[in-house]
Chains A and B, each alone.
Chain A
Amino acid sequence: MQLSRDELLGAYRRMATIRAFEERLHDEIAKGEIAGFTHLYAGQEAAAVGVCDHLSDDDFIVSTHRGHGHCLAKGVDVKGMMAEIYGRATGTCKGKGGSMHIADVHKGMLGANGIVGAGAPQALGAALAAKANGRGQVGLSFSGDGACNQGTTFEAMNMAVVTKAPVIFVFENNHYSEHTGPAYATATVTDIAGRAEAFGIKAWRANGCDYFDTFETMREVLDYVRAGNGPAAVELDTERFFGHFEGDPQRYRGPGEVDRIRAERDCLQAFRQRVTEASLLDHGDLDAVDAEVLRLIDEAVDEARAAPVPTPEMVLEDVYISY
């Protein structure tokens, strides 16, 4: 199915926004201005956008510690996120969550999560809610090749089959669980989707560095799940351009590895090449998007820096609705 010019420009804009957001954070964090742990999503943009382009605000996703891309792809406000990461009162979470805990339930984004593997049961729960609602909503968990080794993930996959829940387990295999490779840490090494199949879940595999491959695969997946067939699983092969967290010296990387994956597996470059070769868009169109995105990120950083910090009284707020 051919995407329209607007759809293509939109997909590129969403991916470029994530890239610019993360590249800028990389620079700002190096200056020491941002506190805490930050895990950047750059390199995996096609996965988040290729998946979320099939979802509406009425569908639910749960994310991971590497969640900026999922949040942005699901429509969470760029400036609110930037302010949150800067620890400002105007942030998405008023400065109480930071990079790892951005959520916007009104966008169906039920939260990034600092605990690896915690999200899968929550996506299942959202799917059970969706099933009870009967409106064709889905729950979807993003997790990495690290979370595929957590017991919670297995519990959720089994219970999803048992309850025939409309839940999609998306495994983004970026070949690193923190600082460890799947060749060591994952018993099935190159195959995560096969684990889901072992639970009786229908599984798909796609190139998570290729927007079009991810997007077309997810169309099938969503059709299958929305039709009431129960859970599905998707393994997306993708790449992490930065370290596990910002400041990770990445001494585990091979020589020239980052240069190679940036040259060969950059989803933005692949998208650009594909749409310009097919004459769907020209370079000028894409350059204009790039410029517009950089302006937006500049504004977001400037506004975050200028935004008020939380007041000490805010420590006490939002623990309970009433107590």
Chain B
Amino acid sequence: MAALKPFAMPKWGIEMTEGTIAEWLVAEGEPFERGKVLTAIETDKITNEVEAEAPGQFARIVATPGQTYPVGALLAVLADGPATDAEIEAFLSTFKAADALGSAGRDTAPPVPPEPAPAAAPAATTIPDDVKISPAARRLAEDRGIDVGAIAGSGKGGRISLQDVDQAGRPPAAGYGGAPVSIAVEDGDIETVYASPLAKRLARQHGINLSGMPGSGPRGRICKADVLAKLPPAAAPAPAPTMSQAPAAMRPAAEIVPMDKIRRIVARRLTEAKQAIPHFYVRMEARADALVALRAQANLFLGARISINDFIVRAAALALVEEPECNVQVHGDTIHRFAYADVAVAIASDKGLVTPIVRNAEALLPQEIGERTKVLIARAAAGRLSHEDMDGGSFTVSNLGMFGVDGFDAIINPPQGAILAVGGSRRVFAEQADGSGAFESRIAFTLSCDHRAIDGAAGARYLAALKRLIEAPEALFRR
């Protein structure tokens, strides 16, 4: 019977966690002498040949050249002579690769934080002398009638501090967290410069390149004033027309209005988007009768004023979750995919076209979307949309249905991957499932997709999902 030993991924230095087998230099069953080079292993630091420490042979070679294995992983089985398959299998079944980082504490669960102390019933109390509590904390607890027995003191040996009592007497804090939030850094190039968040936001808005710009803040930090100084001066007022320039015909001259800031930004961004993004368009109509009926019912029962658009935003968001290939942002050579749907809503306000975001629209019911949208519309009208209101999103819904248009094609709002153009509801005489003819309401949808990230089939699947949701709209009231 041959003596078998593991030939495992070595650990060359404390940082080595894995290595790649470059090649095997001996074959299975080929006897070798001590010092024979058996294999070459690459790490991120070196490539090293591994010599035989003793004469023998490989009973079994386990590891494949080109593959990477963790330290301690079984690469081959060493034997001092020929071994039977049964011996090798028995050996393999007993070998357990150890964790290179050591096993201590691996399986230990982190300590469970203590439950927050419940608020106690207010009733004046006297605290026994032997309770470990600071004098001020004792007074407060007695004044407010807080049961200190229920407080886990934060001090040495569980001693209760004023803060402990104060916190115990308050209602629980509003919770944060739950749905995942995006913590991705935007505009990678801008993030590499040393600038204040406001300066970066302004730079992004105005398309100003911050790299190499000297900053006037501490240690050269670029601040708001530095960016504002780079803005082009406000357009000079148009010269008043003179009589000599007056046209012969008695028509008033064109009113020359300089673009305001928002219009300038919109103009620049749309130009860039239309030039830079390879748009393609997918169209589909959906029957809207069920949706119209459901809306009427819901508004009656809920006493709400949910618009058709609110339903469409919810449907658009649910379809994005269903068809994640359309739920993307495009950043240079990378595509950012999202598990949630932040949907921008195009709003034509006096201040211009804006696209604030309804966040997590997939999780909001139509009436909640309606409330959220109303807030955004009010802010847009007042010109008070914040950066947070506008920032991000993977998708925009642009609805011109209220103007009676049949349909239209929209320009994508980068870095979002797609935009949905919604036409008006039209009455159409159409063949029904039973072969008869009847009038029905239809809404036309055009989906504009960024072809760099989204392919035609994905766009089509998306519209099919949207159509299904619009035509069976009960699902839109499901959480």
A32-B8, A248-B12 given. 20 additional CB < 8 A pairs?
A30-B11, A31-B72, A31-B98, A32-B100, A33-B72, A33-B98, A34-B102, A36-B14, A87-B102, A87-B103, A95-B104, A245-B13, A247-B11, A247-B12, A249-B12, A259-B35, A309-B105, A310-B105, A311-B108, A312-B111
16 contacts between A and B (CB under 8 A): A29-B11, A31-B8, A31-B98, A35-B100, A36-B102, A87-B102, A95-B104, A247-B12, A247-B13, A248-B12, A248-B13, A249-B48, A259-B35, A309-B103, A309-B105, A310-B105
- Closest Cβ of chain A: how far from B111's Cβ, in Å? 7
- The reply on A213 being an interface residue by CB < 8 A is no
Say if the beta carbon of A246 comes within 8 Å of chain B: yes
- Bound CA–CA A248/B8 (angstroms): 15
Chain A residues with Cβ below 8 Å from B100 are 32, 35
Is B169 close to A, CB under 8 A? no
Please state if A32 and B48 are interface contacts (CB–CB under 8 Å): no
Judged by a CB distance under 8 angstroms, whether B430 is at the interface is no
Secondary structure call for the B interface: loop
Cβ contact within 8 Å between B9 and A32:
yes
Identify which of residues 77-122 in chain B touch chain A, using a CB-to-CB cut-off of 8 Å: 97-105, 108, 111
**A251 CB within 8 Å of chain B:** yes
Partner among B6, B34, B105 whose Cβ is within 8 Å of the Cβ of A31: B6
Pick from B5, B34, B99, B105: contact of A32, CB below 8 A. Answer: B99
Q: Residues on A close to B: CB < 8 A?
A: 27, 29-37, 87-88, 95, 245-249, 251, 259, 309-312
A-B contact count (CB 8 A): 62
Chain B residue at minimal CB-CB distance from A259: B35
Query: Given A249-B46, A310-B104, A312-B105: A30 and B8 within 8 A (CB)?
Result: yes
Q: A87-B102, A249-B12, A249-B48 are in contact. Are A32 and B71 (CB under 8 A)?
A: yes
CA distance A32 to B108 in the complex (A): 20
Chain B residue with Cβ nearest A87 = B104
Contact B105 A35 (CB under 8 A): no
Chain B residues within an 8 Å CB radius of A37:
14
Considering the complex, give the chain A residue whose CB is closest to the CB of B13. Answer: A247
Residues of A within 8 A of B108 (CB): 311-312
- Decide if B16 is an interface residue (CB 8 Å cutoff): yes
How far does the Cβ of A37 sit from chain B's closest Cβ, in whole Å? 6
A32 to chain B, nearest CB (A): 2
Q: Which residue of A lies closest to B71 (CB)?
A: A32
Residues on A with beta carbons closer than 8 Å to the beta carbon of B352: none
Which of chain A's residues have a CB closer than 8 A to the CB of B415? Answer: none
Q: Does B70 touch A at the CB level, under 8 Å?
A: yes
Task: Quote the shortest CB–CB distance from B388 to chain A (angstroms).
Answer: 40
When chains A and B are docked, how far (Å) is the Cα of A88 from the Cα of B99? Answer: 15
A249 CA to B35 CA in the complex, in Å?
13
Shortest 9 CB-CB contacts between residues of A and residues of B: A32-B72, A35-B102, A33-B98, A32-B100, A309-B104, A32-B71, A247-B12, A247-B11, A249-B48
Q: A245 CA to B10 CA in the complex, in Å?
A: 12
Point out the residues of chain A lying under 8 angstroms from B97, CB to CB. 31-32
Known contacts A247-B10, A247-B13, A249-B12; is-contact A32 B104 (Cβ 8 Å): no
Residue of A31, A37, A312 with highest tally of chain B CB at under 10 A: A31
What is the minimal beta-carbon distance from A26 to any residue of chain B, in angstroms? Answer: 9
User: Are B101's CB and A35's CB within 8 A?
Assistant: yes
User: Within the assembled complex, what's the spacing in Å between the Cα atoms of A29 and B13?
Assistant: 11
A-contacting residues, B21-36, CB 8 Å: 34-35
Q: How many Å lie between the Cα of A31 and that of B72 in the bound state?
A: 4
Contacts of B11 in A (CB 8 A): 29-30, 32, 246-247
Residues of A within 8 A of B98 (CB): 31-33
C-alpha gap A10/B100 in the complex (Å): 36
Nearest A residue to B5 via CB reads A27
Who on chain A is nearest to B111 by CB? A312
Residue of A nearest to B10 (CB): A30
* B180 nearest CB across to chain A (Å): 29
A245 cross-chain contacts in B, Cβ below 8 A: 13
Which listed residue (B5, B16, B103) contacts A247, Cβ 8 A?
Answer: B16
| B residues near A33, Cβ cutoff 8 Å | 72, 98, 103
Query: Which of A32, A248, A259 has the most B CB atoms < 10 Å from its CB?
Result: A32
Cα A287 to Cα B11 with chains together (Å): 33
**Residues of A with C-beta under 8 A to B71:** 32
CA distance A309 to B70 in the complex (A): 22
* A residues in contact with B34, CB < 8 Å: 259
- Distance of A31 Cα from B14 Cα, bound (Å): 14
Closest residue on chain B to residue A313 by CB atoms? B111
Question: Nearest chain B CB to A261's CB is how many angstroms away?
Answer: 14
Please, which residues of chain B bring their CB within 8 A of the CB of A248? 12-13
The closest CB in chain A to the CB of B73 belongs to A32
User: Across the two chains, which residue of chain B brings its CB closest to A36?
Assistant: B14
Which residues of chain B are within 8 angstroms of A36 by Cβ–Cβ distance? 14, 102
Q: Which residues of A contact B16 (CB under 8 A)?
A: 247
For the complex, give the distance between the alpha carbons of A147 and B5 in Å. Answer: 37
A-contact bits for B151-190, CB 8 A (1 contact / 0 none): 0000000000000000000000000000000000000000
Bound complex: CA of A247 vs CA of B34, how far in Å?
18
Give CA–CA (A249, B40) in the complex, Å.
12
| Residues on the B chain within 8 Å of A309, using CB | 103-105
Give A71 to B71 CA distance when docked, in angstroms: 29
Q: Which residue of A lies closest to B108 (CB)?
A: A312
Find chain B residues with CB under 8 A from A246 CB: 11
- Within the complex, the shortest CB–CB distance from B374 to chain A, in Å, comes to 52
Find chain B residues with CB under 8 A from A29 CB: 11
Q: How far is the CA of A87 from the CA of B103 in the complex (A)?
A: 8
**Within the assembled complex, what's the spacing in Å between the Cα atoms of A95 and B72?**
21
Contact partners of A251 in chain B: CB under 8 A: 48
Q: For the complex, what is the distance from the CA of A35 to the CA of B71, rounded to whole Å?
A: 11
Chain B window 374-405, contacts with chain A (Cβ cutoff 8 Å), 1 for yes, 0 for no: 00000000000000000000000000000000
Q: Which residues of A contact B5 (CB under 8 A)?
A: 27
**Most B C-beta atoms less than 10 A away, residue of A35, A95, A245, A246:** A35
Q: Who on chain A is nearest to B70 by CB?
A: A32
Q: For B43, give the chain A residue with the smallest CB separation.
A: A249
Q: Closest B-chain residue to A26, C-beta based?
A: B53
Docked pose: A312 CA to B100 CA in angstroms: 20
Set of chain B residues within 8 Å of A311, measured between Cβ atoms: 105, 108
CB-CB < 8 A to A27: which residues of B? Answer: 5
Residue of A nearest to B6 (CB): A31
- Chain B residues whose CB sits within 8 angstroms of the CB of A312 once the complex forms: 105, 108, 111
Min Cβ gap B19→A in Å is 11
Residue of A nearest to B95 (CB): A31
Expressed in whole angstroms, the Cα–Cα distance for A87 and B5 within the complex equals 24
Please give, as numbers and ranges, the residues of chain B lying within 8 Å of A35 by CB-CB distance.
Answer: 100-102, 104
A32 vs B73: C-alpha distance in the bound complex, in angstroms?
8
Residues of B within 8 A of A247 (CB): 10-13, 16
Report how far A246 CA is from B5 CA in the complex, Å. 18
Kindly name the residue among A33, A37, A259 whose own CB sees the greatest number of chain B CB atoms within 10 A.
A33
Q: Nearest Cβ in chain B — how far from A43, in angstroms?
A: 15
The interface residues of chain B lying within 8 Å CB-to-CB of A32 are: 8-9, 11, 70-73, 97-100
Name the CB-closest residue of A to B101.
A35
Name the residue on B nearest A258 (C-beta): B35
Cα–Cα distance between A61 and B101 once the two chains are bound (Å): 32
Q: With both chains docked as a complex, state the minimum distance between the C-beta of A289 and any C-beta of chain B, in angstroms.
A: 22
Instruction: Give the docked Cα–Cα distance between A219 and B108 (Å).
Output: 52
